[in-house]
């Protein structure tokens, strides 16, 4: 599991550790890790040219000490001081002692143009808002220089706690972060600014519950349902799919295609697209009566391509089994009926649907995904999976939020959400909690999307067909 903690928690852990260590020890650990990462990037340190962008806090201190370590190994190091009077004094002394040079911001251009690596020590977890006017031009020069940009702790200008980007920010190729990931390094739009992320262990002791976590292969492998010897189809779970319409029969077919690959023992389809479903997947149990009379299921999926009929949504919400609400189902569901449910509910909106439910704009949701997913989960007392560039899953309490690490831009294709809802519903029927079903489905779906695309466009049905390969790889 990859975990991320917000700034307040990092600060507390930092204070506890600092009290037990000699002064400055923590910063030296950070600087050593940072210098090692820069050295790896440079390949050959001796004779290389490194430019440090230095703000007035400890983030700048880390960069200066790392610069001193590189200068000791023969790099030419130039520090650009944004605020000479408030520069970390020990770091500056260390750099000067080994021959590092210092220039003011208006003379940074020349050094930046010749740099191999630019180290962004403008601001770290002490920052608020986008870069200030004195720092923003340096970020632009760094981006234009062609040098590799290494962010110290996080790219300056992003919001560490939320992944928001509220103004100018540094675009890094590599971020060297200390003690723990910060939520902003895992969540878009900020994640895009971080490049690849390297974690340096500085010995922090962190609480059990992170703010954000990302499942890794081994976590998903442990959660995937596995049939026992005595399993029959009912014990493995039956998932009911109430989806599709005469206008959109394809949504039903795609949701069923996802459901068939999600571990449930059987898929029951209810709705007007039964003929299309049977033609493609003869193993489906098709019913032409409403969800209430369709027979027993262990979980329902309602909504993909369903049109305007609110009746099946209401019937499904009244069932005492886990329910997944997607697409039209989200629009047609009565909020109080969702809140009144005792069995788990999993809602799977994309940003536009989430915005409609929250009464805000799509841009607002995309810019503040972590806040949006938590707000929606609390407001509906449901688990919410917010689809998008970084898919997030929040439980009803808005506590630890899962971020999916396998997403790919190729998944932004028509019908891909229908496959995801069928897959998630199948995992719900197989007995996973709503949080696990949503995050495991997103993980498999993302991986399947990568396999299906393999560098070229792929349709939603290709993604569904690649799910078994993703599943096998995770279990391997
Ligand atoms: N935690 C740990 O365990 C460890 C932490 N360590 C390191 O310490 C870092 C935190 O250091 P920190 O607390 O000194 O704050 P930091 O990020 O340097 O920023 C403060 C300065 O930035 C300024 N500023 C603010 N907003 C700005 C903006 N938008 N644009 C431009 N400037 C802005 C602000 O200005 P002011 O408001 O004071 O005028 C103030 O001067 C942390 O990220 C890590 O690198 C490691 O050494 C060891 C282990
Ligand atoms: K930084």
Q: How many domains does the chain have?
A: 2
Query: Are residues 209 and 336 both part of a single domain?
Result: no
Classify residue 165 by its DSSP letter.
B
Query: Are residues 123 and 69 both part of a single domain?
Result: yes
Query: What average pLDDT does this structure show over 147-161?
Result: 98
Query: Are residues 91 and 190 both part of a single domain?
Result: yes
Ligand 1 lined by 53 (C-beta under 6 Å)? no
Q: Is the pLDDT of residue 361 over 80?
A: yes
* The predicted structure's pLDDT at residue 301: 98
Given 152, 186, 213, the domain boundary residue is 213
Instruction: Name the packing angle between helices 89-97 and 58-72 (round to 10°).
Output: 10
Given 168, 186, 213, the domain boundary residue is 213
* The predicted structure's pLDDT at residue 88: 98
Query: Are residues 250 and 357 both part of a single domain?
Result: yes
Ligand 1 lined by 91 (C-beta under 6 Å)? no
pLDDT band at 396 (very low <50, low <70, confident <90, very high): very high
pLDDT band at 232 (very low <50, low <70, confident <90, very high): confident
Please tell me whether residue 378 adopts helix, strand or coil conformation: helix
Given 213, 229, 249, the domain boundary residue is 213
Query: Are residues 185 and 315 both part of a single domain?
Result: no
* The predicted structure's pLDDT at residue 233: 76
pLDDT band at 411 (very low <50, low <70, confident <90, very high): confident
Mean pLDDT of the chain: 96
Phi then psi for 261, rounded to 5 degrees?
-105, 15
Nearest alpha carbon to residue 312 among 420, 297, 461, 238? 297
* The predicted structure's pLDDT at residue 78: 98
* Å from CA of 107 to ligand 1 middle: 23
* The predicted structure's pLDDT at residue 321: 98
Q: How far is CA 338 from the centre of its chain?
A: 26
Give the residue carrying structure tokens 């031009």.
137
Residue 407 marked as a ligand binder? no
CATH classification of the domain holding 127: 3.40.50.10260
pLDDT band at 228 (very low <50, low <70, confident <90, very high): confident
* Å from CA of 283 to ligand 1 middle: 59
Residue 78 marked as a ligand binder? no
* Å from CA of 377 to ligand 2 middle: 32
pLDDT band at 122 (very low <50, low <70, confident <90, very high): very high
* The predicted structure's pLDDT at residue 231: 74
Reduced DSSP (H G I as helix, E B as strand, rest coil) percent helix, strand, coil of the chain, to 5: 45, 15, 40
* The predicted structure's pLDDT at residue 450: 94
Query: Are residues 171 and 230 both part of a single domain?
Result: no
Query: Are residues 170 and 197 both part of a single domain?
Result: yes
- 347 close to 442: Cβ distance less than 8 angstroms: no
* Å from CA of 220 to ligand 1 middle: 36
pLDDT tens figures, 279-299: 999 999 999 889 999 999 999
pLDDT band at 35 (very low <50, low <70, confident <90, very high): very high
Tokens for 256, please give them. 């069923």
Ligand 1 lined by 90 (C-beta under 6 Å)? no
- 324 close to 428: Cβ distance less than 8 angstroms: yes
CA–CA separation, 187 and 212 (whole Å): 9
* The predicted structure's pLDDT at residue 414: 87
Query: Are residues 184 and 50 both part of a single domain?
Result: yes
Phi then psi for 180, rounded to 5 degrees?
-165, 160
* The predicted structure's pLDDT at residue 316: 98
Residue 350 marked as a ligand binder? yes
* The predicted structure's pLDDT at residue 393: 98
pLDDT tens figures, 247-283: 999 999 999 999 999 989 999 999 999 999 999 999 9
Residue 55 marked as a ligand binder? no
**Ligand 2 is a single-atom ion; what residues have CB below 5 A from it?**
120, 124, 151-152, 156
Q: How far is CA 456 from the centre of its chain?
A: 23
CATH classification of the domain holding 439: 3.40.1190.20
CA-based R_g, the chain, Å: 26
User: Which string of b and e fits 34-55 if b means at least 16 CB within 10 Å?
Assistant: bbbbbbebbeebeebbbbbbbb
Query: Are residues 196 and 238 both part of a single domain?
Result: no
Q: Are strands 383-386 and 345-347 parallel, antiparallel or unpaired?
A: parallel
CA–CA separation, 382 and 20 (whole Å): 43
Atom of ligand 1 nearest to the CA of 157: 29
pLDDT above 70 coverage of the chain, percent: 100
* The predicted structure's pLDDT at residue 234: 77
Q: How far is CA 175 from the centre of its chain?
A: 16
Query: Are residues 449 and 325 both part of a single domain?
Result: yes
Which residue's CA is the nearest one to ligand 1's atom 21?
Answer: 57
Give the residue carrying structure tokens 């026992």.
228
CA–CA separation, 271 and 441 (whole Å): 24
Ligand 1 lined by 357 (C-beta under 6 Å)? no
pLDDT tens figures, 97-106: 999 999 999 9
pLDDT tens figures, 419-447: 999 999 999 999 999 999 999 999 999 99
* The predicted structure's pLDDT at residue 235: 79
Q: How much is the pTM?
A: 0.96
Sign of CA dihedral 303, 306, 310, 316: negative
Residues ≥6 apart with Cβ < 8 Å to 246: 272, 273
Query: Are residues 251 and 395 both part of a single domain?
Result: yes
Ligand 1 probe mutation, 12, 32, 88, 126, most atoms within 8 A of CB = 126
Query: Are residues 148 and 244 both part of a single domain?
Result: no
Phi then psi for 150, rounded to 5 degrees?
-110, 115
Query: What average pLDDT does this structure show over 144-159?
Result: 97
* Residue-number span of the structural domain to which 25 is assigned: 2-213
């Amino acid at each position: 599991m990859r975990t991320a903690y917000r700034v307040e928690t990092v600060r507390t852990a930092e204070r506890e550790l600092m009290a037990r260590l000699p002064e400055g020890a923590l910063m030296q650990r950070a600087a050593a890790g940072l210098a090692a990462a820069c050295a790896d990037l440079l390949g050959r340190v001796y004779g290389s040219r490194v430019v440090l962008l230095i703000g007035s806090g400890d983030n700048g201190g880390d960069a200066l000490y790392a610069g001193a370590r590189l200068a000791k190994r023969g790099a030419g190091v130039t520090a650009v001081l944004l605020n000479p009077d408030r520069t970390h004094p020990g770091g500056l002394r260390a750099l000067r002692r080994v021959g590092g040079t210092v220039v003011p911001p208006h003379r940074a251009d020349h050094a930046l143009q010749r740099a191999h690596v630019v180290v962004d020590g403008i601001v770290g977890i002490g920052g608020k808002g986008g870069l200030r006017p004195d720092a923003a031009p340096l970020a632009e020069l760094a981006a234009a220089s062609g040098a590799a940009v290494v962010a110290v702790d996080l790219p300056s200008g992003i919001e560490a706690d939320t992944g928001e980007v509220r103004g100018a920010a540094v675009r890094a190729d590599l971020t060297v972060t200390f003690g723990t990931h910060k939520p902003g390094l895992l969540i878009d739009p900020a994640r895009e600014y971080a490049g690849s992320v390297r974690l340096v262990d500085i010995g922090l002791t962190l609480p059990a519950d992170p703010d954000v976590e990302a499942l890794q292969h081994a976590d998903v492998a442990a959660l995937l349902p596995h049939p026992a010897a005595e399993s029959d189809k009912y014990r493995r779970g039956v998932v009911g799919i109430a989806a599709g319409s005469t206008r959109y029969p394809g949504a039903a077919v795609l949701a069923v295609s996802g459901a068939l690959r999600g571990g449930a023992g059987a898929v029951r389809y209810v709705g007007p697209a039964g003929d299309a479903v049977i033609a493609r997947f003869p193993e489906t149990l098709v019913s032409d009566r409403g969800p209430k009379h369709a027979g027993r299921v262990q979980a329902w999926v309602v909504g993909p391509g369903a049109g305007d009929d609110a009746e099946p949504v209401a019937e499904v919400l009244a069932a005492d089994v886990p329910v997944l609400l997607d697409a039209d189902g989200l629009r047609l569901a009565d909020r109080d009926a969702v809140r009144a449910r005792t069995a788990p509910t999993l809602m799977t909106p994309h940003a536009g649907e989430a915005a409609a439910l929250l009464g805000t704009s799509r841009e607002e949701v995309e810019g503040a995904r972590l806040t949006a997913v938590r707000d929606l989960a609390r407001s509906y007392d449901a688990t919410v999976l917010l689809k998008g560039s970084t898919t997030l899953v929040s439980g009803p309490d808005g506590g630890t939020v899962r971020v999916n690490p396998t997403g790919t831009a190729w998944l932004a294709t028509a019908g891909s959400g229908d496959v995801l809802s069928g897959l998630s519903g199948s995992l719900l029927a197989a007995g996973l909690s709503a949080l696990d079903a949503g995050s495991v489905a997103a993980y498999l779906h993302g991986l399947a999307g990568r396999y299906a695309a393999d560098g070229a466009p792929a349709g939603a049905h290709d993604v569904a067909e690649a799910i078994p390969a993703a599943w096998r790889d995770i279990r391997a």
